[in-house]
Amino acid sequence: MNDKLTVAAGADWELPSLAGGAADGRFYSVVNPATQDVFARVPDCGEEEAQRLLEACVSAFDSWKQTTAFQRSQLLRKWFERIVRGADEVASAISQEMGKPIKEALGEVMYAAGFAEWYAEEAKRVYGETFSSQHEHKRLYASRQPVGPVFAVTPWNFPAAMITRKVAPALAAGCTVIVKPAEQSPITAILLEQYWREVGGPEGTFQVITSNQAATVSAVYFKDRRVRKLTFTGSTEVGVLLYRQSAETMKRVSLELGGHAPFIVFADADIPRAVDDIMACKFRNAGQTCVCTNRIYVHRSISSQLLEALAARVQELRVGDPADDATQIGPLVDEQGLRKVSEHVADALSRGASVVVGGQALGGLYYQPTVLRDVAPGMRILEEETFGPVAPVIEFDTLDEVVAAANDTPYGLAAYLWTRDLDTAHRVSERLDYGIVGINDGAPSTAQAPFGGVKMSGIGREGGVWGIQEYLDTKFVSVGLAPR
């Protein structure tokens, strides 16, 4: 085994909250996309297991919501410290189950730990309000209370961070949580639950259910009125379906869905720095992130310079074994992802685009880091989220033209722009219909800031004070005192 991979391949894993695993003994295989070998097997849970976890979650909520903010804060702080101590182990799991380069995976673990650290403090900053009545004998106030049991569905591309970004604020607020991780990346979730239990997290407060039967398992939670909240990160198509299902029992929802991020480079940009930000924004995780730039708009006057600089940097990217510290680009997660990237490039080339660098599959689930030029409206790559290491470059002439093009999408998660002009920075950021805007910053996400989109990119926010508010209800109390 590579010495970077502290989690051994080939094991059968158990769920911390389900002794004995699935009732019928079923497992499903988790495949390492770099080797396409089986990395691990996990219980393939069904309706019975989902119900068992639900009962434990509901039961635990009754006591967990009564703990003090200071008690919850102390446990979250211990969880943060345990995640940091286990960073190599979690990074090893991430790298093997979804193909992220090991150094990048380690960075994700520290980012994930940051949410546990932040919400350990945010738990103590949930405040109520008092306000005046028009009647002398009345006293009015509003308090904040936990929503209730939460069902969280998380994606494979950030298997640690997307869990802590949901679970930490939910626990801080006094909610209990069941997490259904993506089928491709369950081991990270299991480790995070183990760590929570190791530091004293009470039974039933945070549980993981693994399953290849997503619809069967999810149905248990959607139909039960005791589950009061859905939080989901994933595709817009699935998010819309879950939104409809949540409406049947009027659950609170947080949905972080697909993106189609533009990156606008204005004529006054510092080209080397702009290219640095494009590289960080586009090629992280082989382009498999919802906030990756999917469209690079460059002012015509500097397009040749930027293309030359970008192509040189992309050619230097090292594609290889995710366990190797030198690897910068790993495999795509599965055949479906590889097929979509290949189709987007083929469609663009058939409609007049040309390859500057890359443009070919490399065997297995690997795809060359690619830059395309002469990209134009009507190509699939400008209409759909690619989720791969392909950077399409489009020229523009005027500010109004590029803002209109950037907004011409049903999605609205993240957008980026590069300029040295303060007026342009502010005015363009205000006109972009996106929940997140990075100005001269290709990696704006952080635990203390709001993360989320508009339009078809979702509902609600994660991170910062906004994240914990998603797990709190407001209760108004009016007290009538005896007349004086």
Q: What is the mean pLDDT of residues 100-122?
A: 98
Marked catalytic residue, from 97, 290, 292, 385: 290
Cα separation, 211 vs 226, in Å, equals 22
Amino acid in position 241: L
At 483, the pLDDT band (50, 70, 90 cuts) reads confident
pLDDT tens sequence across 74-92: 999 999 999 999 999 999 9
Calculate mean pLDDT across residues 335-355. 98
Give Rg (Cα) of the chain. 23
- What pLDDT does residue 1 have? 40
pLDDT-derived band at 5 (thresholds 50, 70, 90) equals low
The pLDDT of residue 244 is above 60: yes
For 214-235, write each residue's pLDDT tens digit: 999 999 999 999 999 999 999 9
Residue 4 has pLDDT above 70, yes or no: no
Query: Would you call 248 a catalytic residue per the annotation?
Result: no
What's the whole-number mean pLDDT along residues 1-30? 80
Reported as a pLDDT band with limits 50, 70 and 90, residue 59 is very high
pLDDT per residue as tens digits for the range 132-163: 999 999 999 999 999 999 999 999 999 999 99
pLDDT band at 484 (very low <50, low <70, confident <90, very high): confident
Residues 300-323 have a mean pLDDT of 98
Contacts of 188 (CB under 8 A, 6+ apart): 90, 93, 94, 97, 159, 160, 163, 181
The stretch 199-215 carries a mean pLDDT of: 97
User: What's the confidence (pLDDT) of residue 201?
Assistant: 98
Q: Which domains does the chain have, with CATH numbers?
A: 27-257+457-476 (3.40.605.10), 261-439 (3.40.309.10)
Name the token pair of 239. 């998010």
At residue 21, the pLDDT reads 78
Mean pLDDT in residue range 344-362? 98
* CA proximity to 341, closest of 311, 314, 303, 372: 372
The 3-state DSSP class for residue 366 equals strand
Quote the CA–CA distance of 259 and 255 in Å, as a whole number.
12
Active-site annotation holds for 256: yes
DSSP SS3 for 476: strand
The rounded mean pLDDT for the chain is 97
Q: Of residues 256, 395, 462, 470, which has the active-site annotation?
A: 256
